[in-house]
């Protein structure tokens, strides 16, 4: 069976491909092994995250831990933007707009009563991604939900 031809814009996401250890909430949550890999010959990027036996979570996360999580990101050549579909172990499913340019990775969504945005700096040389998720009830006043740091896994 033939595969689709990936759009060249998808190469912007190459920096994410591989295995990462993700930490959140001031390193009180983690590590969560996160992997990014190409699907369909590079037409889509899939991300999967799942805690391991040594993963710890802060008490306030009990009952709200989303893992395992999966996303799939594709490109819309008519809008010149990425779209990410998200699903998690709680049964939550969301759609985010996504960008990665100039070492800045962003995801965002506008939803009545619960807007979200993520901004992170990708340091390819250091093998790190550092950022934060924010939330807003009205899309005007934002508060940090939790910080996130990814460290490229070795081996």
Give the residue, 63 or 71, on which the prediction is more confident.
Answer: 71
The DSSP result for the chain, as a single string, is ---PPPPGGGGGGGGG-EEEEEEETTTTEEEEEEEEEEEGGGTEEEEEEEEEEEEE--GGGTTT---SEEEEEEEETTTTEEEEEEEETTS-EEEEEEEEETTEEEEEE--TT-EEEEEEEEETTTTEEEEEEEEESSSSS-EEEEEEEEEEPP-
- Compute the average pLDDT of residues 55-79: 93
- Check residue 120 and give its pLDDT: 98
CB contact at 8 A, 117 and 124: no
- Check residue 2 and give its pLDDT: 82
Tens digits of per-residue pLDDT, 99-114? 999 999 999 999 999 9
Q: Indicate the pLDDT class of residue 155, thresholds 50, 70 and 90.
A: low
Q: Indicate the pLDDT class of residue 154, thresholds 50, 70 and 90.
A: confident
1 burial type by CB count under 10 A (0-12 exposed, 13-18 middle, 19+ buried): exposed
What is the value of pTM for the model shown? 0.93
Give the residue, 5 or 18, on which the prediction is more confident.
Answer: 18
């Amino acid at each position: 069976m033939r595969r689709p031809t990936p759009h060249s814009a998808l190469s912007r996401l190459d920096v994410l491909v591989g295995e990462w250890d993700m930490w959140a909430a001031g390193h009180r949550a983690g590590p969560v092994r996160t992997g990014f890999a190409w699907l369909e010959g590079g037409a889509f990027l899939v991300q999967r995250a799942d805690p391991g036996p040594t993963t710890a979570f802060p008490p306030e996360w009990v009952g709200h831990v989303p893992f395992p999580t999966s996303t799939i990101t594709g490109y819309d050549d008519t809008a010149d933007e990425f779209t990410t579909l998200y699903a998690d172990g709680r049964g939550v499913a969301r759609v985010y707009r996504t960008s990665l340019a100039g070492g800045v990775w962003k995801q965002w969504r506008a939803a009545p009563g619960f807007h979200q945005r993520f901004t992170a700096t990708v340091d390819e040389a250091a093998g790190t991604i550092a950022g934060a998720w924010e939330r807003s009830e009205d899309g005007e006043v934002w508060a940090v939900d939790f910080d996130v740091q990814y460290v490229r896994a070795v081996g």
